[in-house]
Every structure is written in C-alpha cells, then in structure tokens.
Amino acid sequence: MAHQLSFDLPAKPALGREDFFVAPSNAMAVALLDPQFAWPSGKLVLTGPKGAGKSHLAHVWASQTGARIIPAAKLTAGAVPELSHGPIAVEDVPQIAADPERQNALFHLHNLVLAQGHALVMTGQPAPNLWGLTLPDLQSRVQAATHAELQPPDDQLLAVVLAKLFNDRQITPKPDVIPYLVAHMDRSFAAAAQMVRRLDHLSLAEKRSLTRPLAVRVLSESREKETENDAAASG
C-alpha cells in the first residue's frame, strides 16, 4: 500500500462556550465558573484529568470576565504587579512544585489579586492537597480555595469529546466510528486524544478514509502494545 508523508500538526482547539458540552461529570464546574457565582474565598481551583476541559473552561471564564491566562511555569516575580490588576487564571500549578521562585511569585500574585478584589482561578490535574507545593503558605492558600473537579467522561461526554477532537483536526470520521470507539476504548480524555491523533496520522499516511475498520485496527494495535509493555515491566 502506498504511503505518504504525514505531519502531526497541532490541532487548533475550539475554546468558545458553545464548544463546551455540559454533562453530569462537569456540570458543577461549569456552574461554579459562571461569572455570576461569587466564590466565598474569591478564588477557585479547577482540577481534573488531562484533556477534561480545564483549559477550555478557563478560556471561557476569561472571555466572560476579561481575565488573563498565564501558565504557572511562565510566571515571574517581575510580572506580578501588572498581572494583579484584574482577574487571572494560572494554569498547571502543580508543574511548579519543584520551583521555589515561581511558587513565591504565585504566592504574591495570589495575595495581590485578592487584596484588590479580583478573582483568581488555578488549575491542575490532581486534587489540590496533592499538588506538592513546597511553599507551605501557598499550599495552604490553594487548599482554602473553592474546588471544582472535572470527572472522567460518561458515554455521552466521551462521544462529544471525540467529535470535538476530530473537528479540531478538521476531519470527519464515518458515522459508525465514534459509537464503536465509545464502546471499546479506554474511558479517559487522554485516551481519546491519543486515539484521534493516531487515527488522523494513519488515515493521512495511507490515504484512507477514517472508517470503522481503521478504528478496529488502531485499537487492536494499541492493546497489543499495552500487552507488550506490561510483559516487559513484569519481566
């Protein structure tokens, strides 16, 4: 079979409110991020597995409130005074658990933002008590925030996530592909992202439509690889 070069180009995600599907697993987080909801502490921690929609919801909140968004890993002490003049979302805070300088910057940003009456959102994958921040005063302030957790997807949400991931890559699978994947794949956002990326890559490389037989093949290859990895780990 003829192959062509394929490039894993980054998909441009749709981050509007109309692109976010509300399901039981995320309804509480969506409600808490409504601009009309006043968090008792003035701050909110948003957690959930990779791909669950933390960044999407942060962007929706930012568009509704005029907030700025910054990755925790890019936060500097020099930027704190300017960033504290309005609401702000700091993403992936656990990534700075081993970085005292950025933790100190976030600590001062936290205090200045709240002192000026603005709102603060912080995101991370695990529950806030597991972020492992080495600055005790920052860790205690994180744990004092209102907490919204995104849960793993149910069938309906997983189908919508797959459809959105395909749409982000501007590809259209055959109608029976998504129902098949929902019934047979691992039930996680990370698995959905990996599956869509692999199907896109393979369909481009082999110049094939995105069909159920292709999905069956990719799932089978994934399971074989998992079995090999498990055998290697146990050996």
pLDDT at res. 216 = 94
Q: In the chain, which stretches have pLDDT less than 50?
A: 1-12, 14-17
Mind listing the pLDDT tens digit for each residue in 86-130?
A: 999 999 999 999 999 999 999 999 999 999 999 999 999 999 999
Instruction: Give residue 233's pLDDT.
Output: 60
pLDDT on residue 128: 96
> Distance of alpha carbon 178 from its chain centroid, rounded?
21
CA atoms of 173 and 179, how far apart (whole Å): 11
Q: How far apart are CA 92 and CA 126, in angstroms?
A: 10
- Per-residue pLDDT at 235: 58
Report which of 126, 114, 47 is spatially closest to residue 87, judged by C-alpha positions. Answer: 114
DSSP string across 74-97? G--GGGHHHHTTS-EEEE-GGGGT
In the chain, list all ranges with CATH 3.40.50.300: 26-149
Q: Which CATH number fits domain 26-149: 3.40.50.920, 3.40.50.300, 3.30.565.10, 3.90.226.10?
A: 3.40.50.300
Per-residue pLDDT, 14:
43
pLDDT of residue 81: 96
pTM of the shown model: 0.69
Class of domain 155-233: mainly alpha
Other C-beta atoms lying within 10 Å of the C-beta of residue 87? 20
